[in-house]
């Protein structure tokens, strides 16, 4: 038996010869030693004992007049001693740790993040000039000084941050957002839609239309120039004027027209109990017919598409099932009054979709334009509104950005 405790502290097998073996054993027991695997062949006796006990066995052996000789050694202390004799095994790990330590003293990677317009090489060059480059000593890197130097030398940056991540240096930058190019002409207020101007108040710029004028979509209402300070207001001379962003309130009377129709008799399909199935197999972008459906041209069908999935897993091969529900045509007739109401509603709906939310509706009118005997009731709706129609350069820009 050789347990882990004995292996950890070491054990020796000794040969005992001569003297009084029994006395030796009893003295060992009295000293608290643990002995095991005691065997005798008449003249010699062998036994195992702990290494610690063996170091104290000399006096006992002397008293018992026996000769003790170690014949086998086992355990960690002996293994360690054996390993320590091999210098390579000791020096190797130490050298390994030393090299790891030395390697971690240097910068191995420099990364630039956050740049789009500014070239990474330019930032790396600036960083390199300030001691941040591959191979530099980590301890020599001064992030704060490098940040300031990069910011000072690269005018296109708003912010720069340098941080150490072990042997990696990250240079994080935020670029300036390029200002939008100013147009030569700062911008006019133009008409968004056709209408008749009812009110034109100029806040900035010069009016080129006046109240009561009929304007078309795109017509300039207020031009983006105004006389310089101290000049006469009516002198629109380009040399004596300055370019401004035109601003103003341009309210106009605008008309909207809508149309709606409803047939007196409609045909709807009602599902029967019959359905036809077709199966397609789709592989990537290509689709194959696995099972086709025989559809009659005379019958009505409602179609439904189902994609076969298994536990929400997406496979490269999809099975698509087309279900054709057979429908029976059923004719539904409505009265002319009901159709007229429905047509008016549709016509007004088409008008309402186009009227801006802030428009003030002044008048509404709807006319039936179909004949009395016609099978379809047609209605035209007209709405008259007062609304803001001017689009200035600011609002135009906002719309573009949106």
Partner 1 sequence: MKRKRWQRVGALLDIPDDVTMNVTRITMVGRHHLLIENHKGIIEYTSELLRIHVDEGELFIGGVGLSLSVIEPEQVEVQGTIAVMRYV
- Residues interacting with partner 1, by CB under 8 A? 1, 21-22, 25-26, 29-30, 32, 34-42, 45, 47
> What minimum distance in Å lies between the beta carbon of 48 and partner 1?
10
Q: How far apart are CA 168 and CA 162, in angstroms?
A: 11
Both tokens assigned to 180:
């939008």
Q: How far apart are CA 27 and CA 67, in angstroms?
A: 15
> What minimum distance in Å lies between the beta carbon of 24 and partner 1?
9
Q: For residue 19, report the phi and psi dihedrals to the nearest 5 degrees.
A: 65, -155
> What minimum distance in Å lies between the beta carbon of 86 and partner 1?
35
Minimum CB distance to partner 1 smaller for 1 or for 117: 1
Minimum CB distance to partner 1 smaller for 21 or for 281: 21
DSSP 140: G
Q: Burial letters for 122-148: b for 16+ Cβ neighbours within 10 Å, e otherwise? A: ebbebbeebebeeebeeeebebeebbe
> What minimum distance in Å lies between the beta carbon of 19 and partner 1?
13
396: which strand partners? none
Minimum CB distance to partner 1 smaller for 36 or for 255: 36
> What minimum distance in Å lies between the beta carbon of 78 and partner 1?
22
Minimum CB distance to partner 1 smaller for 37 or for 140: 37
> What minimum distance in Å lies between the beta carbon of 68 and partner 1?
16
Minimum CB distance to partner 1 smaller for 63 or for 265: 63
Minimum CB distance to partner 1 smaller for 43 or for 373: 43
Which residue has tokens 């009110």? 199
> What minimum distance in Å lies between the beta carbon of 8 and partner 1?
18
Minimum CB distance to partner 1 smaller for 61 or for 276: 61
Q: Burial letters for 331-353: b for 16+ Cβ neighbours within 10 Å, e otherwise? A: eeebeeeebbebbbebbbeebee
Minimum CB distance to partner 1 smaller for 21 or for 124: 21
> What minimum distance in Å lies between the beta carbon of 46 and partner 1?
10
Which residue has tokens 């054990």? 11
Query: Vertex 258, ends 255 and 264: CA angle to 5°?
Result: 155
Q: How far apart are CA 301 and CA 294, in angstroms?
A: 12
What are the Cα distances from residue 215, in Å, to 185, 200, 356? 22, 12, 18
Q: How far apart are CA 237 and CA 349, in angstroms?
A: 48
């Amino acid at each position: 038996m050789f347990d882990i405790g004995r292996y950890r502290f070491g054990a020796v097998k000794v040969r005992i010869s001569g003297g009084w073996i029994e006395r030796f054993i009893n003295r060992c027991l009295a000293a608290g030693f643990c002995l095991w695997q005691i065997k005798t062949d008449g003249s010699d006796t062998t036994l195992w004992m702990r290494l610690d006990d063996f170091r104290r066995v000399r006096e006992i052996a002397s008293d018992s007049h026996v000769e003790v000789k170690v014949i086998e050694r086992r355990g960690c202390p002996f293994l360690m001693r054996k390993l320590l004799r091999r210098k390579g095994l000791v020096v190797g790990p130490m050298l390994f740790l030393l090299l790891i330590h030395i390697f971690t003293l240097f910068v191995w990677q420099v990364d630039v993040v956050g740049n789009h317009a500014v070239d990474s090489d330019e930032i790396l060059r600036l960083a390199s000039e300030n001691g941040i480059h591959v191979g530099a000593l980590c301890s020599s890197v001064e992030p704060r000084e490098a940040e300031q130097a990069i910011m000072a030398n690269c005018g296109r940056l708003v912010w720069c941050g340098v941080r150490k991540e072990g042997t990696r240096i990250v240079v994080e930058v935020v670029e300036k957002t390029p200002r939008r190019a100013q147009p030569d002409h700062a911008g006019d207020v133009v008409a968004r839609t056709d209408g008749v101007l009812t009110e034109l108040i100029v806040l900035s710029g010069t009016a080129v239309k006046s109240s009561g004028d009929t304007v078309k979509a795109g017509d300039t209402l207020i031009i983006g120039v105004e006389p310089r300070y101290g000049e006469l207001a009516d002198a629109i001379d380009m040399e004596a004027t300055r370019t401004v962003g035109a601003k103003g309130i341009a309210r106009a009377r605008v008309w909207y027209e809508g149309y709606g129709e409803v047939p007196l008799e409609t045909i709807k399909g009602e599902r029967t109990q019959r359905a036809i199935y077709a199966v397609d197999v789709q592989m990537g972008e290509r689709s194959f017919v696995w099972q086709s459906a025989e559809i009659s041209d005379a019958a009505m069908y409602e179609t439904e598409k189902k994609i076969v999935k298994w536990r929400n897993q997406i496979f490269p091969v999809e099975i698509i099932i087309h279900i054709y529900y057979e429908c029976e045509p059923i004719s539904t007739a409505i009265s002319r009054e009901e159709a007229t109401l429905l047509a008016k509603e549709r016509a007004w709906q088409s008008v309402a979709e186009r009227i801006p939310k802030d428009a003030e509706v002044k008048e509404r009118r709807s006319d039936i334009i179909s004949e009395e005997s016609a099978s379809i009731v047609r209605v035209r709706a007209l709405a008259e509104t007062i609304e803001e129609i001017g689009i200035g350069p600011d609002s135009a820009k906002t719309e573009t950005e949106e």
